[in-house]
């Protein structure tokens, strides 16, 4: 009876995951979808704690430890998730993803110990090595720890504490490393005995190393894609656990995320008009390629514009398009931005926002930020729409965006971002770029746009500049 | 060869689930607008936190004197909970921003 109820709990869990994910892909139902999935998860967890029985009919024990762990995780998780700033969301997702990967790897370690403990060579010989089970344990270990290590590096990169790092031949080294992991795992599955169980821990160490090296050289601008990919990895690692315990809800949840995450990764790549392989491998030598054609300093002079000039140009324009980027997010300038918009609208200027699909550090990042500042939805335009409107626009104000407006993506085949669709801001009459300095953007490449005759630079922190600009416009 | 075929037959239920879920996963997010990429990723991130169930089972099965299993299991429960709870709360916070204005 109890097991039957547990089956129902798992069934409900699986259905809510599918429904939740489906609802999450539609703006009108997204929030409800998240709650539906969370509800299903709660039912599955509670059911497991109280109703689970293993093959021998034994119920779970160690309730104090279980509830202790749940309590610690819940408190820390809620606090971290509530406190994190909107701008730091991407690294938060990466961090949580890493936790899931580590959890899967830990399960594998415990189960492996279970498998080998107290057994010597003869025992294993007599009972036979459970090849299938061992394979799943190893898969969970490898995928889980790659996902954990990779997510930690991605997290460090997004919050700026880890810098890009690569060495010559790293690509080949990574492939060799991966082959070595696969080779050792195959060896262990076929030949496990009492004396070579230590190979398991070598595989663990190599997987962690691989996860680290795999993410290290990839540029920060591509981190969303990497996180999405690691996200689907963790899904597969969770599914391995489902295989291990013959647990259908883990299996469905894990595979669902594995498949959806992979597709989402590809969709994100498509938004940048690049292939996944290009994102993962293309990062190598990005700096080398930038060498010919575009040596810094050769590009001539840029022109600066004062705040009062900007204020005048903008308030007498009839149409202004604002292009937000990561700089806006870092400076927390979304509210100031909305205020500027309102002020200009009062003066009869039409103001819109052009949102590049990968503006900020995650797709949708800018929409979330601007929505937080109460910018109305119909003011946000997607790239295609915006590109049609630039030619009839008087002033384009670029706030801390760089790579998404870099004309090199169209004109310079040697550029690492070549082929990425960009916002054609140059079609507008005037382009004003707000940046903190002339430093290149996240992809680490120079931007020709800043040196074009139509472009003027307005240096400073986005929030400060916008506040000063608002004050200037008020005093006009 | 026969081993493998046997194994497949033995686990056919699971294999069916895997194959069908792959298609379901691809199908249901096929037409997601790019605005929702981040929340969707975050939501999916929370869902794979279902790995917590494995952690609970590991924890609940650990013998009282097996300290390694107890400690690793406890850690797994904490990390898994972080993934689930943190994941859902972060997603909810992101989506809160999307609500329509009156």
Q: Where are the domains of chain B?
A: 1-31, 33-102
Question: A119 falls in which pLDDT band (50, 70, 90)?
Answer: low
Catalytic residue annotation of A: 403
Q: Which among B37, B75, B96 has CB closest to A267?
A: B37
- Distance of CA A134 to CAs A199, A309, B60, Å? 13, 70, 21
Across residues B32-60, what is the average pLDDT? 90
A89 and B42 within 8 Å at the Cβ level: the answer is yes
How confident is the prediction for chain A on average, in pLDDT? 86
Element (H, E) at A381: strand A380-382
Alpha-carbon distance B72 to nearest alpha carbon in chain A (angstroms): 6
Residue with tokens 């991407």: A90
In this predicted structure, what is the pLDDT of residue A291? 37
Torsion of CA A84, A86, A88, A90, to 10 degrees: 110
Distance CA A146, CA A222 (A): 18
Surface-to-core class of residue B64, CB atoms within 10 Å of its CB (0-12 exposed, 13-18 middle, 19+ buried): exposed
CA nearest to A43, candidates A23, A24, A27, A20: A20
Across residues B1-23, what is the average pLDDT? 88
Distance CA A241, CA A254 (A): 9
Q: State yes or no: pLDDT of A172 exceeds 80.
A: yes
More confident residue, B102 or A180: A180
In this predicted structure, what is the pLDDT of residue A148? 97
A44 and B68 within 8 Å at the Cβ level: the answer is no
Contact by Cβ (8 Å): A318, A352: no
Distance CA A444, CA A441 (A): 5
In this predicted structure, what is the pLDDT of residue A286? 44
Q: State yes or no: pLDDT of A235 exceeds 80.
A: yes
Q: State yes or no: pLDDT of A292 exceeds 60.
A: no
Q: Give the chain A residue nearest B32 (alpha carbons).
A: A25
Query: Which range (A281-290, A345-354, A423-432) has the least confidence?
Result: A281-290
H-state helical runs in A59-167: 63-83, 89-116, 121-127, 131-158
Residue positions counted in chain B: 102
Q: Does A373 touch chain B (CB under 8 A)?
A: no
In this predicted structure, what is the pLDDT of residue A202? 96
Among residues of chain B, what percentage have pLDDT more than 90?
Answer: 55
Distance CA A107, CA A44 (A): 18
Q: Residue A340 CB: number of other CB atoms within 10 A?
A: 24
Q: Does A65 touch chain B (CB under 8 A)?
A: yes
Pairs of residues, one from chain A and one from chain B, whose beta carbons lie less than 8 Å apart: 373
Q: Give the chain B residue nearest A63 (alpha carbons).
A: B60
Q: Which fold has domain A307-475?
A: Rossmann fold (3.40.50)
Across residues A124-153, what is the average pLDDT? 88
Chain B contacts of A106, Cβ < 8 Å? 55, 58, 72-73, 75-76, 79
In this predicted structure, what is the pLDDT of residue A462? 87
Residue with tokens 């097996």: B66
ipTM of the complex: 0.94
Q: State yes or no: pLDDT of A450 exceeds 60.
A: yes
Q: State yes or no: pLDDT of A178 exceeds 90.
A: yes
Contact by Cβ (8 Å): A27, A76: no
Q: Is A430 helix (H, G, I), strand (E, B) or coil?
A: strand
Structure tokens at A304: 């600066």
Chain A contacts of B93, Cβ < 8 Å? 81-82, 86, 89
Q: Residue A16 CB: number of other CB atoms within 10 A?
A: 25
Contact by Cβ (8 Å): A369, A375: no
Q: Which among A72, A107, A268 has CB closest to B76?
A: A107
Across residues A214-232, what is the average pLDDT? 86
**Torsion region of A267: left, alpha or beta (phi above 0 gives left; psi -120 to 50 gives alpha):** alpha
Element (H, E) at A248: helix A248-271
Q: Within the 338-357 window of chain A, which residues sit less than 8 Å (CB to CB) from chain B?
A: 355, 357
Q: Does A15 touch chain B (CB under 8 A)?
A: no
Q: State yes or no: pLDDT of A209 exceeds 60.
A: yes
DSSP one-letter code for A59 = B
Contact by Cβ (8 Å): A448, A418: no
Question: A125 falls in which pLDDT band (50, 70, 90)?
Answer: low
Question: B99 falls in which pLDDT band (50, 70, 90)?
Answer: low
Question: A360 falls in which pLDDT band (50, 70, 90)?
Answer: confident
In this predicted structure, what is the pLDDT of residue A284? 46
* Per-domain residue ranges of chain A: 1-83, 88-282, 307-475
Per-residue buried b or exposed e for A423-437, using 16+ beta carbons within 10 Å of the residue's own CB = bbbbbbebbbbbbee
Question: A300 falls in which pLDDT band (50, 70, 90)?
Answer: low
Q: State yes or no: pLDDT of A271 exceeds 80.
A: no
Distance CA A415, CA A440 (A): 13
Chain A contacts of B31, Cβ < 8 Å? 25
Q: State yes or no: pLDDT of B28 exceeds 80.
A: yes
Q: Is A422 helix (H, G, I), strand (E, B) or coil?
A: coil
Alpha-carbon distance B23 to nearest alpha carbon in chain A (angstroms): 8
Residue A384 CA to chain centroid, in angstroms?
24
Q: Which residues contact A285 (CB under 8 A, 6 or more apart)?
A: none
A73 and B77 within 8 Å at the Cβ level: the answer is yes
In this predicted structure, what is the pLDDT of residue A15? 96
Across residues B78-100, what is the average pLDDT? 88
Distance CA A300, CA B98 (A): 43
């Amino acid at each position: 009876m109890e097991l039957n109820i547990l089956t129902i709990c798992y069934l409900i869990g699986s259905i809510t995951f599918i429904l939740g994910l489906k609802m999450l892909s539609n703006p009108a139902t997204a929030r409800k979808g998240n709650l539906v999935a969370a509800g299903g998860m709660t039912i599955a967890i509670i059911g497991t704690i109280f109703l689970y029985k293993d093959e021998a009919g034994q119920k779970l024990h160690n309730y104090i430890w279980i509830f202790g762990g749940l309590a610690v995780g819940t408190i820390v998780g809620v606090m971290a998730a509530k406190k994190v700033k909107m701008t730091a969301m991407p690294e938060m997702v990466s961090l949580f993803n890493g936790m899931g990967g580590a959890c899967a790897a830990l399960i594998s370690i415990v189960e492996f110990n279970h498998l080998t403990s107290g057994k010597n060579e003869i025992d294993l010989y007599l009972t036979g090595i459970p090849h299938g089970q061992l394979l799943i344990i190893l898969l969970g270990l490898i995928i889980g720890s790659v996902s954990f290590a990779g997510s930690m590096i991605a997290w460090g990169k997004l919050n700026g504490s880890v810098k890009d790092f690569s060495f010559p031949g790293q690509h080949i080294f990574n492939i060799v490393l991966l082959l070595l992991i696969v080779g050792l795992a195959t060896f262990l599955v076929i030949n496990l005995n009492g004396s070579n169980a230590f190979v398991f821990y070598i595989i663990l160490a190599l997987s962690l190393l691989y996860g680290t090296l795999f993410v290290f050289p990839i540029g920060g601008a591509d981190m969303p894609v990497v996180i999405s990919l690691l996200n689907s990895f963790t899904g597969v690692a969770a599914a391995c656990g489902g295989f291990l315990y013959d647990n259908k809800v883990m299996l469905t949840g894990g595979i669902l995320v594995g498949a959806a995450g992979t597709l989402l990764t590809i969709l994100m790549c498509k938004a940048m008009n690049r292939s996944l392989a290009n994102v993962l491998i293309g990062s190598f030598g990005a700096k080398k390629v930038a060498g010919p054609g575009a040596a810094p300093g050769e590009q001539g002079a840029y022109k600066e514009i004062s705040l009062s000039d900007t204020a005048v140009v903008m308030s007498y324009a009839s149409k202004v398009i604002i292009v937000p980027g990561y700089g806006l997010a870092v400076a927390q300038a979304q509210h100031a931005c909305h205020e500027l918009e309102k002020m200009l609208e009062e003066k009869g200027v039409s103001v819109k926002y052009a949102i590049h699909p990968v503006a900020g550090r995650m797709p949708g990042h800018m929409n979330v930020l601007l929505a937080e500042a109460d910018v109305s939805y119909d003011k946000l335009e997607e790239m295609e729409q915006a590109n049609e409107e630039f030619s009839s626009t008087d002033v384009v104000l670029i706030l801390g965006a760089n790579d998404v407006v870099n004309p090199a993506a169209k004109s310079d085949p040697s550029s690492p971002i070549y082929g990425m669709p960009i916002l054609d801001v140059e079609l507008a009459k005037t382009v004003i770029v707000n940046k903190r300095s002339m430093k290149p953007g996240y992809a680490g490449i120079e931007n020709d746009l800043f040196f074009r005759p139509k472009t003027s630079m307005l240096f400073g922190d986005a929030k400060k500049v916008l506040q000063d600009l608002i004050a200037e416009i008020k005093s006009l | 060869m026969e081993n493998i075929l046997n194994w497949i037959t033995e686990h056919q239920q699971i294999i069916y689930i895997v194959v069908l879920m792959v298609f379901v996963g691809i199908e249901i997010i096929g037409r997601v607008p790019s605005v929702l990429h981040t929340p969707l990723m975050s939501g999916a991130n929370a869902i794979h936190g279902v790995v917590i169930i494995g952690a609970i089972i590991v924890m609940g099965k650990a013998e009282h004197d097996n300290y390694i299993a107890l400690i690793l299991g406890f850690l797994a429960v904490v990390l898994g909970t972080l993934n689930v709870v943190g994941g859902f709360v972060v997603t909810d916070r992101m989506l809160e921003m999307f609500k329509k204005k009156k």
